[in-house]
Amino acid sequence: MVELRGCDPPKNLDEYRDVFVYVQHKNGKIERGSLEMLGMGRELADKLDEKLVGIMVGSDLSKVAEEAANYNCDTVIGIESPDLKTFSSVPFSHFISETVEDYKPNIFLLSGTREGRDLVSRIAIRCNTGVAADCIELDADKQNRLLIAWRPSFGDKTIDQILCRKHRPQMITSRPGSYKLPEKNRRKEVKIDIRKVKVPDKMKTVRVVEFRPKETLDLTTAKTVVSGGFGLGKPEGFKYVEDLAKELDGVVGASRPVVDLGWIPYDHQVGQTGRTVRPHLYVAAGISGKIQHLVGMKDSEFIVSINTDPDAEIVKYSDFYIHGNLYDALPKLTEEIRKRKSGSKNKV
């Protein structure tokens, strides 16, 4: 029988203080979105006159905890055991929840990576609190010590404000890439508290048998993204997309149909079910601009589209629109940029 219970709120909300940030890390490196949350966490903590606490889990934390301490933390809590070397939902959520119940933070921020999303719901249910997922904007109401979280919904057609008035901690996951990276700054009085724990055998059921790394393609941090869509008509068309991307020192993106067709790996997909990008320059070749694609790229600084159809939706979202066949336009654009580059070299 499953034990059921309602989400009972705590009696005394004032007991809950300080801002927790989950610091995800791998091979001694802190995940980018967690750094963003440390930056955001500091801002919220300052607004509320609270402390910033980084919390991490792993097998050998001393170095990476030192690194987290460089981002304006007041405290870094590490939960350490040789059995916590690789991520596993049950033990990770167990130890984090225990720490949360013991410390009673007011706010708890997690980067919305696959690991963050995997963990957050279990922690929230254990701690009897709610979560706002995939937030793109955060603010605090000092008087009520309330976290004000904004998250997009329905393919970004609206942005909803999510509040968790009666339960603590107030938890969110962020959409990675939506916040500034903080500057490094170490506080004089920072405390690093590594706690050794013992993982019960019944929590050691998930075994990682293999890891096949893939070439990491970081679409989210690229300055230029050149994407190809169904208008390419054939997989070989990506050659022209790649040529332009190379000339602009950018990376190749794609719409979903060409990924589904296997013309290019999933990692390149931009959109609702792919990556959200906001590069300086986004080029969309043979992409119609359906809402699910737009939500993944519409916040780019400059958008150039290439399309045979002047009524395509993407045109309304473009700063510059090339009316024509991408098989003519892409090579010409690449060639023209190459010419300018060699021209500028000649001048020097």
Partner 1 sequence: MALKIVVLIKQVPDAEEIFIDPVKFTLNRSQARGIINPADENAIEAALKIKDETGAEITVLTMGPPAAETALIECMGRGVDKGILITDRVFAAADTWATSLTLAAAFNIMDDFDIIFAGESTTDSGTGHVGPGVAEFLGIDQVTYSVNTKVEGKNVIVERSLEDGIEVVNVPMPVLITTLIGSNMPRRSTLRMKIDALKKGITVMDHEKLKLPPEWVGIKGSPTVVGSLKIPDEKKREGKKYEVEEIPKLVDDLIEKGAIKIGDA
Applying CB under 6 A, the residues found at the interface with ligand FAD are 229-231, 255-257, 269-274, 286-288, 290, 292-293, 296, 306-309, 312, 325-327
Strands 52-58 and 19-22, by their bridges, are parallel
Q: Residue 307 binds which one of partner 1, ligand FAD, none, with CB within 5 to 8 A depending on kind?
A: ligand FAD
Binding partner 1 (rule: CB under 8 A), the pick from 107, 232, 248, 251 is 248
**Beta carbon nearer to partner 1, 101 or 319:** 319
**Beta carbon nearer to partner 1, 70 or 128:** 128
Binding partner 1 (rule: CB under 8 A), the pick from 49, 216, 236, 311 is 216
CB of 139 to partner 1, least distance (A): 12
Alpha carbon distance 132, 109 (integer Å): 10
Instruction: Give the DSSP letter of residue 165.
Output: -
DSSP string for 267-333 = GGBBSTTSB----SEEEEES----HHHHTTTTT-SEEEEEES-TT-GGGGG-SEEEES-HHHHHHHH
Q: Does 281 bind partner 1 (CB under 8 A)?
A: yes
Q: Residue 121 binds which one of partner 1, ligand FAD, none, with CB within 5 to 8 A depending on kind?
A: partner 1
Q: Which residues pair with 282 in a beta bridge?
A: 225, 303
Q: Does 85 bind partner 1 (CB under 8 A)?
A: no
Whether residue 111 contacts residue 174, with contact meaning beta carbons closer than 8 Å, is answered with yes
Alpha carbon distance 197, 94 (integer Å): 11
Q: Residue 191 binds which one of partner 1, ligand FAD, none, with CB within 5 to 8 A depending on kind?
A: none
Q: Does 12 bind partner 1 (CB under 8 A)?
A: no
Q: Residue 166 binds which one of ligand FAD, partner 1, none, with CB within 5 to 8 A depending on kind?
A: partner 1
Alpha carbon distance 129, 10 (integer Å): 9
Instruction: Give the DSSP letter of residue 189.
Output: T
Find the binding residues for partner 1 in span 48-67 (CB under 8 A). Answer: none
